[in-house]
Amino acid sequence: MAKKAFYITTPIYYVNDVPHIGHAYTTIAADVLARWHRLNGEKVFFLTGTDEHGQKVEKAASEKGIETKQFVDMIVPRFVESWKTLNISFDRFIRTTEEDHKKGVIELIKKCHKNNDIYKGFYEGNYCVPCETFYTEKDLVNNNCPSCGRETKIVKEESYFFRLSRYEKALLELYETSPSFISPDHRKQEIINRVKEGLKDLSITRTSFSWGIPFPLDEHHVTYVWFDALTNYLTGIGWPSKKFASYWPADIHLVGKEILWFHTVIWPAMLMSAGVDIPGTVYAHGWLTINGEKMSKSKGNFIPPSELIRKYGVDGTRYGLLRDIPFGMDGDFNEPQLIKRIHGELADSLGNLLQRTLTMVHKYCNGVIPKPGIFGDDEKRLQDVANNLFAHLNEHIQKLEFHKGLETIWSFVAQCNKYVNDQKPWDIHEPKRLNTVLYTLSECLRLIGHAVLPFMPSSGEKMLAQLGQKQKKLPLQFETNTSGKIAQPEILFSKSVVIDEPFSAVDLRVAIIKDIKPHPNADKLYVLEIDVGEKRTLCAGLRNYYSADELKGKSIVIVYNLKPANLRGIESQGMLLASQKADVVKILHPKGTPGEPVTISGMPRTPKQQITIEDFKDLKLKTSGTKVVYKDKPLQTSQGEVFSELDDAVIV
């Protein structure tokens, strides 16, 4: 059966925690590619999903005190919901706990075993539980995992091995004969160098935990996570049944750079062993920082997609993640910069172009796209740009240069705005000339509406609907006979996001009091040892209001980025927040995990590195009913609103 479709995949995401902005970054990029190929008239299969087996998932469930299957069944809907909210057009969401996937993994193992590539032995090495990966001594960085930086442990256990060493020469030949297999180019040489150093056989089973696919050659073993997880790219399209050949080999696997080794060394070796064709390209994008800082729970910037959507909308989020960062490089997701782009490029440039064009068509042409008269030099120059728009877009998107693709679109938008300002249609009194100008603008907007569809599908659809146009497939050119009745203009992009909001500069976090002692030099102060995703020490004036036993183990809200202060010989690294009414003081009650940010819906969170106590006091937080509010908007975490036991109290 011949391959008939463009097949694209994301990694399948671990379910030891909820989705965050890094997951969204990869998935949105894959969606743009999928939508572009559909716009080009191709059949597309887009696969994403969740990796639900392994020791760290089992451990995460144990820490919650629930069964592992119950735990993953709780987490997976968060991914599905996030992708649907972000308008991700996946064709299948695969779960590695599904029966067809398990059967496919077992079949792949049997094929590799039949090829004499699996044998039994013992493994001893440095094992990182979070990454579920063994490392040699030379791989370690300061005796820690080179990927996540956490401490590894020496593990020795019986294991089955895959003869990865057997495929060293074949892999090097693959890299030589298929130069686009590892992309972008600057990622390639590191992989080649590591393979040339020699490959060791790969441990593919475990006996130290039970949450995984039973290993078909030995019931006492479970299948190693990478042999399980990577196979989803086959099982997600029906392997081992023959229908998988309609889509295989995959055109592109999108991955983060931290898992490039597994996808460009282990995965092709597995496929070679099983007699399955190799994918076309494995493309590794870089890592994101958030407002200049590395993502981490302890920093409170492990942003869930829902938080960005609340602030900037679905299309604003999609646009923001791809607009400035070259996809194959590390980059910074900068919220102040995104806000400026939403205001300047989305609302003022494109949104305003659409609205004033539609308004003029309604005013001067009774809401019907007019028939053009003679096109002059100005129109012909704009038509030339329009006719090259999709060729330039295709060139950039095929190279995964999403930022350049968006730059191309907005360059055209800018030229259309210049055309409006130069022509001044509101001052044109000759009807045929006015019709030509308004037709030219309407037709250019029709093309722009199609161009933004892969990046911002909802906005593109709204543009076409307001223009009275149906979506068409590529190729698209400037037409001279487009007709249609336009809708009443509506605002396409909102400028409701707040710039330079004082609350945005303050970094509020959830913390848990782990230990508490009286301050040795101050009668009113406690010294708190807290967990805020990291250990910190705070001094809090609560001894007149709470006993130590009443506070220990409580969740609290702290000002994380308050400048540290020395209070009677002890450094206080932040400030605990409480409500005060007359002589009564009560701590605040947040829901959430240690280090989780406390936010306000719709308000951008761009905390400064440090603030002063005066900065915080200027906010004038208070309570309304049981809610803690700022400008009558409730403070909240991802799990609910922050509350207090005091009504009409001030926050101190």
Domain boundaries, the chain: 6-285, 335-466, 502-651
Q: Tell me if 603 sits within 8 A of 609, measured CB to CB.
A: no
pTM metric for this prediction: 0.75
Percent of the chain with pLDDT over 70: 96
Reported confidence tier of residue 475, pLDDT bands at 50, 70, 90: very high
Q: Say whether pLDDT at 295 is over 80.
A: no
Taking residues 562-585, what's their average pLDDT? 92
| Of 519, 537, 503, residue with least CA distance to 616 | 503
Domain 6-285: what homologous superfamily?
HUPs (3.40.50.620)
Q: Tell me if 159 sits within 8 A of 203, measured CB to CB.
A: yes
Q: Which residues touch 161 (CB under 8 Å, ≥6 apart)?
A: 118, 119, 120, 121, 123, 201, 202, 203, 204
Q: Which fold has domain 502-651?
A: OB fold (Dihydrolipoamide Acetyltransferase, E2P) (2.40.50)
Gap between the Cα atoms of 199 and 201, Å rounded? 7
List the 575-576 sheet strands across, edge first: 535-540, 526-531, 508-518, 555-559, 575-576
353-388 pLDDT tens trace: 999 999 999 999 999 999 999 999 999 999 999 999
130-158 pLDDT tens trace: 776 767 676 788 878 887 778 888 877 88
CATH match of 335-466 with 3.40.50.12780: no
CA distances from 112 to 219, 224, 270, 276 (A): 18, 14, 7, 11
Gap between the Cα atoms of 207 and 229, Å rounded? 18
| Of 546, 574, 580, residue with least CA distance to 562 | 574
388 vs 336: which has the higher pLDDT:
388
Sign of CA dihedral 229, 230, 236, 241: negative
CA distances from 646 to 10, 495, 546, 547 (A): 48, 35, 15, 19
Q: Tell me if 49 sits within 8 A of 30, measured CB to CB.
A: no
Taking residues 110-118, what's their average pLDDT? 96
Question: By mean pLDDT, which of 136-140, 312-316, 611-615 is the weakest?
Answer: 136-140
Q: Say whether pLDDT at 284 is over 70.
A: yes
